[in-house]
Copies of this chain bind each other. A is one copy, B any other.
Protein backbone atom coordinates (compact mmCIF):
# COMPACT_ATOMS: atom_id res chain seq x y z
CA UNK A 1 0.00 0.00 0.00
CA UNK A 2 2.89 2.33 0.74
CA UNK A 3 3.77 2.20 -2.95
CA UNK A 4 0.46 3.79 -3.85
CA UNK A 5 0.28 6.41 -1.15
CA UNK A 6 3.81 7.80 -1.26
CA UNK A 7 4.23 9.49 -4.64
CA UNK A 8 7.33 9.26 -6.80
CA UNK A 9 8.35 12.88 -6.29
CA UNK A 10 8.40 12.36 -2.56
CA UNK A 11 10.44 9.17 -2.80
CA UNK A 12 12.89 10.67 -5.27
CA UNK A 13 13.47 13.76 -3.18
CA UNK A 14 14.21 11.85 0.03
CA UNK A 15 16.51 9.51 -1.87
CA UNK A 16 18.33 12.39 -3.52
CA UNK A 17 18.75 14.15 -0.17
CA UNK A 18 20.23 11.02 1.40
CA UNK A 19 17.63 10.17 4.01
CA UNK A 20 16.39 6.80 5.22
CA UNK A 21 19.54 4.76 5.74
CA UNK A 22 19.10 1.64 7.88
CA UNK A 23 20.32 1.88 11.48
CA UNK A 24 20.02 -1.71 12.66
CA UNK A 25 19.60 -3.08 16.15
CA UNK A 26 22.05 -3.13 19.01
CA UNK A 27 22.50 -5.97 21.47
CA UNK A 28 19.82 -5.21 24.08
CA UNK A 29 16.36 -4.35 22.75
CA UNK A 30 13.22 -3.48 24.68
CA UNK A 31 9.64 -3.72 23.45
CA UNK A 32 7.20 -0.85 23.88
CA UNK A 33 3.52 -1.79 23.55
CA UNK A 34 1.76 1.56 23.42
CA UNK A 35 -1.92 2.15 24.13
CA UNK A 36 -3.16 -1.30 23.10
CA UNK A 37 -6.29 -0.90 25.19
CA UNK A 38 -9.91 -1.51 24.28
CA UNK A 39 -10.25 2.24 23.68
CA UNK A 40 -8.18 1.81 20.49
CA UNK A 41 -9.05 -1.77 19.48
CA UNK A 42 -12.65 -2.09 20.58
CA UNK A 43 -13.80 -5.13 22.52
CA UNK A 44 -14.45 -7.00 19.26
CA UNK A 45 -13.13 -6.51 15.73
CA UNK A 46 -15.36 -4.14 13.77
CA UNK A 47 -15.02 -1.81 10.79
CA UNK A 48 -14.04 1.76 11.68
CA UNK A 49 -17.52 3.28 11.40
CA UNK A 50 -19.02 0.73 13.77
CA UNK A 51 -15.99 0.64 16.05
CA UNK A 52 -16.20 4.34 16.96
CA UNK A 53 -19.70 3.77 18.24
CA UNK A 54 -18.15 1.77 21.07
CA UNK A 55 -15.19 4.08 21.72
CA UNK A 56 -14.62 7.23 19.66
CA UNK A 57 -10.89 6.60 19.91
CA UNK A 58 -11.12 3.14 18.32
CA UNK A 59 -9.25 2.40 15.09
CA UNK A 60 -11.40 -0.57 14.14
CA UNK A 61 -10.37 -3.92 12.80
CA UNK A 62 -6.91 -2.87 11.62
CA UNK A 63 -6.07 -2.85 15.31
CA UNK A 64 -6.77 -6.56 15.61
CA UNK A 65 -4.41 -7.41 12.76
CA UNK A 66 -1.70 -5.39 14.47
CA UNK A 67 -2.38 -7.01 17.85
CA UNK A 68 -1.66 -10.42 16.34
CA UNK A 69 1.73 -9.17 15.20
CA UNK A 70 2.49 -7.48 18.51
CA UNK A 71 1.72 -10.80 20.14
CA UNK A 72 4.41 -12.50 18.05
CA UNK A 73 6.96 -9.89 19.08
CA UNK A 74 5.86 -10.12 22.69
CA UNK A 75 6.38 -13.87 22.75
CA UNK A 76 9.91 -13.48 21.43
CA UNK A 77 10.78 -10.78 23.97
CA UNK A 78 9.38 -12.86 26.81
CA UNK A 79 11.27 -15.95 25.68
CA UNK A 80 14.53 -13.97 25.48
CA UNK A 81 13.96 -12.25 28.81
CA UNK A 82 14.22 -8.82 27.18
CA UNK A 83 12.34 -5.92 28.79
CA UNK A 84 8.68 -5.36 27.88
CA UNK A 85 7.13 -2.01 28.79
CA UNK A 86 3.51 -0.89 28.53
CA UNK A 87 3.06 2.86 28.18
CA UNK A 88 -0.71 3.28 28.27
CA UNK A 89 -3.35 5.96 28.42
CA UNK A 90 -4.15 6.69 32.05
CA UNK A 91 -7.85 7.09 32.78
CA UNK A 92 -8.64 10.79 32.44
CA UNK A 93 -9.42 12.97 35.43
CA UNK A 94 -11.06 16.35 34.91
CA UNK A 95 -7.74 18.10 35.64
CA UNK A 96 -6.16 16.27 32.69
CA UNK A 97 -8.20 18.09 30.06
CA UNK A 98 -5.58 20.68 29.06
CA UNK A 99 -4.65 21.08 25.42
CA UNK A 100 -5.88 17.59 24.60
CA UNK A 101 -9.35 18.14 25.97
CA UNK A 102 -9.54 21.35 23.94
CA UNK A 103 -8.48 19.67 20.71
CA UNK A 104 -10.38 16.37 21.07
CA UNK A 105 -13.11 16.87 23.70
CA UNK A 106 -14.60 13.38 23.34
CA UNK A 107 -11.33 11.82 24.47
CA UNK A 108 -12.16 12.87 28.03
CA UNK A 109 -15.28 10.67 28.20
CA UNK A 110 -14.13 7.19 27.24
CA UNK A 111 -15.90 4.55 29.38
CA UNK A 112 -13.78 2.76 31.98
CA UNK A 113 -13.65 -0.49 30.05
CA UNK A 114 -11.80 1.34 27.29
CA UNK A 115 -8.74 1.60 29.53
CA UNK A 116 -8.36 -2.18 29.92
CA UNK A 117 -5.50 -3.80 28.06
CA UNK A 118 -6.36 -5.98 25.08
CA UNK A 119 -6.19 -9.48 26.55
CA UNK A 120 -3.94 -10.87 23.80
CA UNK A 121 -1.07 -8.62 24.86
CA UNK A 122 -1.94 -7.95 28.49
CA UNK A 123 1.02 -7.44 30.83
CA UNK A 124 2.33 -10.20 33.06
CA UNK A 125 3.41 -9.64 36.63
CA UNK A 126 6.76 -7.86 36.53
CA UNK A 127 6.33 -6.20 33.16
CA UNK A 128 6.58 -2.45 33.44
CA UNK A 129 3.46 -0.29 33.39
CA UNK A 130 3.72 3.37 32.45
CA UNK A 131 0.51 5.38 32.73
CA UNK A 132 0.82 8.47 30.55
CA UNK A 133 -1.15 11.60 29.75
CA UNK A 134 0.58 12.80 26.60
CA UNK A 135 1.49 11.26 23.24
CA UNK A 136 5.12 10.28 23.74
CA UNK A 137 5.79 7.40 26.10
CA UNK A 138 8.76 9.44 27.39
CA UNK A 139 6.81 12.60 28.15
CA UNK A 140 6.01 12.99 31.85
CA UNK A 141 6.88 9.37 32.61
CA UNK A 142 9.92 7.62 34.11
CA UNK A 143 10.41 5.48 30.97
CA UNK A 144 13.99 6.59 30.50
CA UNK A 145 14.96 5.52 34.02
CA UNK A 146 13.70 2.00 33.33
CA UNK A 147 15.61 1.85 30.04
CA UNK A 148 18.85 3.01 31.67
CA UNK A 149 18.37 0.51 34.49
CA UNK A 150 17.91 -2.30 31.96
CA UNK A 151 20.90 -1.23 29.85
CA UNK A 152 18.77 -1.09 26.73
CA UNK A 153 20.22 0.20 23.44
CA UNK A 154 17.35 -0.47 20.99
CA UNK A 155 13.60 -0.01 21.08
CA UNK A 156 10.88 -1.81 19.15
CA UNK A 157 7.88 0.50 19.11
CA UNK A 158 4.43 -1.05 18.59
CA UNK A 159 0.82 -0.14 19.17
CA UNK A 160 -1.26 2.89 18.50
CA UNK A 161 -1.68 5.31 16.90
CA UNK A 162 1.01 5.34 14.23
CA UNK A 163 0.69 9.12 13.85
CA UNK A 164 0.25 9.86 17.52
CA UNK A 165 1.82 8.04 20.42
CA UNK A 166 3.91 5.67 18.29
CA UNK A 167 5.45 8.48 16.28
CA UNK A 168 5.88 10.75 19.30
CA UNK A 169 7.65 7.96 21.16
CA UNK A 170 9.81 7.07 18.15
CA UNK A 171 10.94 10.68 17.72
CA UNK A 172 11.90 10.94 21.39
CA UNK A 173 13.63 7.54 21.37
CA UNK A 174 15.60 8.64 18.30
CA UNK A 175 16.49 11.93 20.00
CA UNK A 176 17.85 10.01 22.99
CA UNK A 177 19.99 8.02 20.50
CA UNK A 178 18.25 4.70 20.88
CA UNK A 179 18.16 2.52 17.77
CA UNK A 180 14.47 2.46 16.89
CA UNK A 181 12.57 -0.20 14.95
CA UNK A 182 8.92 0.22 13.94
CA UNK A 183 7.17 -2.87 12.57
CA UNK A 184 4.74 -1.43 10.02
CA UNK A 185 2.09 -4.11 10.61
CA UNK A 186 2.27 -3.98 14.41
CA UNK A 187 1.24 -0.31 14.62
CA UNK A 188 -2.17 1.02 13.64
CA UNK A 189 -4.11 4.21 13.01
CA UNK A 190 -7.52 5.43 11.96
CA UNK A 191 -6.72 6.27 8.31
CA UNK A 192 -4.55 4.42 5.78
CA UNK A 193 -3.17 7.69 4.39
CA UNK A 194 -2.09 8.98 7.76
CA UNK A 195 -0.72 5.57 8.77
CA UNK A 196 1.41 5.25 5.64
CA UNK A 197 2.78 8.79 5.57
CA UNK A 198 3.77 8.56 9.21
CA UNK A 199 5.53 5.25 8.56
CA UNK A 200 7.32 6.94 5.67
CA UNK A 201 8.39 9.89 7.85
CA UNK A 202 9.66 7.59 10.58
CA UNK A 203 11.50 5.39 8.10
CA UNK A 204 13.20 8.35 6.46
CA UNK A 205 14.26 10.14 9.62
CA UNK A 206 13.88 8.31 12.89
CA UNK A 207 13.55 4.55 12.69
CA UNK A 208 13.98 1.40 10.68
CA UNK A 209 10.56 0.41 9.35
CA UNK A 210 9.98 -3.18 8.28
CA UNK A 211 7.37 -5.90 8.60
CA UNK A 212 7.01 -7.83 11.83
CA UNK A 213 8.26 -10.94 10.06
CA UNK A 214 11.45 -9.20 8.95
CA UNK A 215 11.98 -7.67 12.37
CA UNK A 216 11.51 -11.03 14.12
CA UNK A 217 14.34 -12.35 11.98
CA UNK A 218 16.65 -9.48 12.91
CA UNK A 219 15.80 -9.82 16.58
CA UNK A 220 16.45 -13.55 16.59
CA UNK A 221 19.87 -12.91 15.10
CA UNK A 222 20.95 -10.78 18.08
CA UNK A 223 23.71 -12.48 19.96
CA UNK A 224 23.53 -15.49 17.66
- Smallest CB separation, A60 vs chain B (Å): 9
Q: Which of A30-38, A68-76, A111-119, A177-185 contacts B (4 or more CB under 8 A)?
A: A177-185
Chain B residues in 8 Å Cβ range of A136: 171-172, 175
Q: A164 at interface (Cβ–Cβ under 8 A)?
A: yes
Majority-rule SS of A interface residues: helix
B133→A142 contact, CB < 8 A: yes
Q: A222 at interface (Cβ–Cβ under 8 A)?
A: no
7 closest A-B pairs by CB: A140-B142, A134-B175, A18-B106, A10-B191, A149-B177, A197-B197, A98-B177
Indicate with 1 or 0, residue by residue over A85-125, a CB within 8 angstroms of chain B CB atoms: 00000000111001110111111000000000000000000
- Give the number of residues in A that approach B within 8 Å (Cβ atoms): 73
Q: A45 at interface (Cβ–Cβ under 8 A)?
A: no
User: Would you list 15 pairs from A and B whose C-beta atoms are within 8 A, ordered by A residue?
Assistant: A9-B191, A9-B192, A18-B104, A95-B128, A98-B149, A99-B175, A103-B174, A135-B174, A139-B172, A140-B144, A140-B175, A145-B175, A148-B176, A163-B201, A198-B201
Chain B residues in 8 Å Cβ range of A135: 171, 174-175, 205
Copy number in this complex?
4
- Smallest CB separation, A158 vs chain B (Å): 19
A191→B14 contact, CB < 8 A: yes
Question: Looking across the interface, which residue of chain B has its beta carbon closest to that of A58?
Answer: B17
Question: Looking across the interface, which residue of chain B has its beta carbon closest to that of A148?
Answer: B177
Question: Looking across the interface, which residue of chain B has its beta carbon closest to that of A200?
Answer: B194
**Bound complex: CA of A125 vs CA of B220, how far in Å?**
39
Best-surrounded residue of A7, A48, A168 (most CB of chain B within 10 A) = A168
